[in-house]
Each structure stands twice: as structure tokens, then as C-alpha cells.
Amino acid sequence: MKIEAPERIELPVSGMTCAACARTIERTLSATPGVKRARVNLATETATVEYDPARVRAADFAAAIEELGYGVPEGGPSPDRERRALRLRLWVAVAFAAPVVFLGMSHRAPWVQLALTLPVIFYSGAPFYAAAWRALRHCAANMNTLIALGTGAAFLYSLWTTMRGGHEVYYEAAAVIVALILAGRTLEARARRRASEAIRRLANLQPPTARVLRQGVETEIPTEQVETGDVVVLRPGERIPVDGAVTEGQSAVDESLLTGESMPVEKSAGSPVFAGAINLSGSVRYRATKVGRGTLLQQMVEMVKRAQGSRAPVARLADVVSGYFTVGVLLAAIATFVVWLFLAPFPVALVRAVAVLIIACPCALGLATPTAIMVGTGRGAERGILIKGGEALEMAHRIDTVILDKTGTVTLGKPRVTAVRAAPGYTEDDVLWLAASAERYSEHPLGKAIVEAAAERGLALAEADGFAAQSGHGVRARVEGREVVVGRPGITVTVDGRPAGAIEIADTVKPEAAEAVGRLRAMKLDVWMITGDQAAAAKQAAREAGIEHVLAEVTPAGKVAEIKKLQAAGRRVAMVGDGINDAPALAQSDLGIAMGSGTDIAMEAGDITLMRGDLRGVPEAIELSRRTMRIVRQNLFWAFAYNTIGIPIAALGMLSPMLASAAMALSSVTVVTNSLRLK
């Protein structure tokens, strides 16, 4: 019996505000008959569904998403429009909440306060109430439920009081909470936008056009039109459009962004080439073997998408307990109202119940995590550690295993002269001067390393005549009448056919690498090096840096597989890298840390970016996370302590709504002040 492979569809989704939204949509789609698997990616605002077309139609998925209250926009989501709408809601909330706070301090003009609060509640706060309603319809509770409960209780009680001619109103509480939460959502939206850019920029590494031979004539066509078997013509400096195998010519190719190999790779007939790599020197022709989604580059794009889509969002302690807390508060308020209804008039019972809701208003609870994270991320920025958001900062303190890439992370990421050996009759400076003079106009990275080393020693180079690059065999030139050959490999230097010396070139370990690794191990973290570079180079770098666990010659897909193995064993893994080849591993890991000295793609795929490219930023970022999360736990304790103590006092009628509001404000001040200790 033939088993049909499931079809796959990707749908744009609008209206998601938090990880709970993504989980709700994912659960609903997964429960649809005929669906094999559903994944919702909050970062890219997409839902990917694998399904049996004989049992369910693709149109059913859009209907299911829309029934939940979210949108499936035609032509895809419009992040720019949604960001503008979010910013507008924030500025409206700030503009109207400020005068409400001023008037509320003097308990004056309740009707004016009401008028100013209406736009905040019904426009700025509308997404919170919609999300809370969606959660309620599915018998769930989250932070949106708490926000809607707290602001709604404060607003409705204040409205009732205003209509009765009273002055003890709490409009400022409702307005300020909405403004603060919107500020946090704005920061989260910015982080999500940067995360989605990683995939797009990775895909853009593939050049838009390719030069192919059609009926013996060179023709430039769009890359997506290249077919398997086409002969592609590649010139120096061009980026390779599709995967293939060289048929004619020789060249050196920079594959560091794809494979992690730090040195340029010599290519000749039969050698494989990969889309996205850069042809450095010679002109070659090669036959296309993989095109479209089959190329290594596109597979990496898909790996990043899958890893980002499958990564479970970190559940904050507030989210874990918010459902129970919300239900408990509602029950307490209802019980208070019912009991007091038998003991006192209706207005008294209502005031007691509202006091319970106000003392339980989640202002401090809502501030507990964001304020600590805002201060923590600000402190990190001062230290050159850019943290994309609260989830990254929270995850960092749970890490127990750190994986380091080699090239550009543990090492400097480019070839450097490490030693010069001179034959009898020559000095080290003689050998370096001759080689650098011959390589003076070379475009080869190894030649550039020799010229840089000569410049560091202050050597004035001579003009060279008859320069000729020999792919795979170095360069030849005449320097002051002598024929100088700088050979490959081994960088042997000969003068008029006789050995003059040798130059050793390697990708050297960063000066701070050993200190950084030592600090990580002192923090009880397991440190690994996983690299696409050769085993000998990897082991040497690991020895110098003090790393015990080393895996070399690992492909980008292999790095992802190794991380999955560690995660399956219960490890919380941080991946540190700087190359495009690290992007899938950064996305798969629990925490991706990108070196700022590396590629933009790695920086976008990572959760944390070390702007100085200093490896010591890794232990510093993890320690900052540990301190921040200690503050978060303390904040949550105080937030719940106020509520736990205040709710029964309010229920007994010993706490008026006014005092309840003051206690709520005091809990917020405590939380913010505690967070500022991170400074």
C-alpha cells in the first residue's frame, strides 16, 4: 500500500500578542482531524500545517484561526502596519494617562478623569480585553486575563462611583497599567521583528542571477531558473548561486560562512561548490547539482525556520501561577460580595468586593518581570551585551552547557602569521620581506596575512615584477631581480629556486579565550567546542583555550543534531558562534549567543549579541541573567505577598478601595525599587 506524504501549507497569522496566543492556535490546529502536525512561529507570525488533503481542506485552517479571533491576512502579515498601530496605542495611553494621574492625586474632576480614561480603555487597551476574552472562551487564563481583570475592575468601580457622585475613583490605576503593559509589548514586537529578519537575510545570500551556458552562449538568468545539469560560469569576487561540481578552471573559495572552514578552499575539476560561498580568485565553470530548496544554503534557511518555530517559549513564573491566581481572586471577590450582601446593603457589599479586586490588581505582578528585565538588559547594553528580550535573559540563567564555535569565536577568524623560519643566509625579516613583496598585490587571504605581518614589523616592501598566481601552488614574482616563489601549502619561500625559509599561518586563539572558558567552568558549566574546521586545528585551539570536549569537521546540520542530542539528555544548551553556518545551531539551541564581530545573520539569529566580540561576554551575560532572575523571583514574592495579605483584609471590610489602591501602588514601588538594585 502506498502511503501518501502529507501536504504542507504556511499561513500568515495576525493578532498574536504573546506566546499564549501561539500555543492556543497550535493546539486548535493540531486537534483538527487530518492534521499531522502544526507549528506556530510567533517570530515570523506564521502557522505551518502538515495535513492529509483527503481528510481536511487548507481553507479549514484559516477558518479555525479566524474563529479563535485571529486573522489570516491575504498577501501575508503587515508587520510595519501592526507596529505603527501598537506605537499609536502606546502614545494615546501615555498622553491621556498623564493628566489622569495628576487629577487623581487631588481626587478632583472625576467626570474629566472618566473622559480621559475612555480612550485608554477602549482604544489602547482593546487588544488586552480581546485576548482575555479569547482565553476565557477556551477556559484558560493568562497575563492578559489579569490585565483585563485589574483595569476593568478599577474602571468599572470608578465609573459606578462617578455616576453616584462620588470622588474616590481609580481611573489612574487603569490608565497607567495599560500604558506600562503596552510599553513592554512594543519592546517585544521589536525583538520579534529582528528575529524574523535573520531568515530573510540568510536567504538573501543567494545571488539573484546566475550566468549559465545555454547552447554555447553565456546567458544571465534569474537564479530560480537554473536547472540541474546547467553549466554555471563564475568569475572572481562573485557569490556562487547554486550547488554544483567544478568542470573547468581553478580557484580559491571562501566557504567560512557555510562550513566553518577558516581557510579558503582550493577548487579544481571535480571539487564541490556551494551556493552562498564567495569565489575569491580564478574563473571557473561548474555543473549545477542542486538548485532551489535543495541547496545547502536553502536547507540552512529551512533549519532556522524549523528551529525557531519549534522552540518552546519560556514560561515565566507569573504565567504559571496567573491562571490559579485569577480564578482565586474571582472566587474571593464573589464570596466577599455574597457574604457582605447578607450583612450590609448592596453598595457596601460591592465596595468590599471591588476592594478585593483592586488589591489583587496585577500592577505589581505585571511589573515584577518587565522592570527587572528592562533594568537587566539596560545594564547589559552598558557592558556591550545586547539581549533581545526577557525570554533570552530568563533562559540564560538555566544554561548548564555552553557550545563554542571555533572560527571567529574562540579564534580571531582570519589567517595570521604565527611563525617565520629562515634558512641559512637569511633572517626572519628577510624571508618575510621577500614573501610580502611578492604577495604585495595578491587578493588571496594568505597573501594578505603575510603582507599584514610585514607591516606589523615595519618592513618597507619592494615592487615586484611578473606577478603570477598559481591556483593551489602559491605565487611567483621577481623581487629586485630575484625570482621569488611563495608556495602552497606550508608557505615555503624560495629564491632563485633555493629554499629561503618558511612561514607558518594559522587562525590564532583570541587572547581572552582561556580566561573566558575558565570563568565558564568556574560557574559549573560544561564547555564544548563544535566546529566545521579540521580536527588538527580544532584540537590545537581547544588545548590553548582550555576546552576539554571537542567535535571537529561537523556540518551545520551536524551541529544542530549534536545540540538536539544534548537537549534530549536534559541539558540546557547555549550556542556561541559568529558565522552564517552557526545560524541553524543558534536557533536550535536554548540560548543563541552571537559574536558582534561576526556576520549580521548570526547576530540576528542569536538571542544575545556580544558587541565587542569578546568571549568574556559569555560568562558575563550568564551571570547578569542569574542576578536578574534572582530579582524577578524577589519581585514576584513581594507582588504576591501584598495580594495574599491584602485580599483577606479587604474581604473583611478592613481595607477601603482607597487604601487598597495605596497598597497596590506601594507594591509597585517596592518592585521597581528592587529592580533598580541591578544598576
Beta-bridge partners for 594: 577, 609
CA atoms within 13 A on the CB side of 234: 38
Cα separation, 464 vs 478, whole angstroms = 5
Residue 241 phi, psi dihedral angles, 5° rounding: -80, -40
Closest CA to 387 of 585, 191, 675, 201: 191
Cα separation, 555 vs 584, whole angstroms = 11
Cα separation, 47 vs 24, whole angstroms = 12
Residues 6 or more apart whose Cβ sits within 8 Å of residue 189: 82, 83, 86
* Four-residue CA torsion sign, 572, 604, 580, 511: negative
β 591-595/608-610 pair status:
parallel
Whether 467 and 475 have beta carbons less than 8 Å apart is answered as yes
Whether 359 and 157 have beta carbons less than 8 Å apart is answered as no
Cα separation, 410 vs 653, whole angstroms = 64
Coil, strand or helix at 499: strand
Specify the DSSP class assigned to residue 677. Answer: G
Cα separation, 568 vs 308, whole angstroms = 17
**What is the DSSP track for 144-208?**
HHHHHHHHHHHHHHHHHHHHTT-----HHHHHHHHHHHHHHHHHHHHHHHHHHHHHHHHHTTS-S
Name the residue with cell 539573484: 208
Coil, strand or helix at 49: strand
Coil, strand or helix at 287: strand
Nearest 5°: the CA angle 673, 678, 679 is 95
Coil, strand or helix at 606: coil
If you count them, how many residues does the chain have? 679
405 is catalytic: yes
Cα separation, 597 vs 614, whole angstroms = 9
* Catalytic residue from among 230, 243, 319, 405: 405
Query: Cis bond leading into 222, ω under 30°?
Result: no
CA distances from 442 to 11, 102, 266, 445 (A): 50, 70, 15, 8
Whether 252 and 444 have beta carbons less than 8 Å apart is answered as yes
C-alpha cell belonging to residue 9: 501549507
Task: Catalogue the active-site residues.
Answer: 405
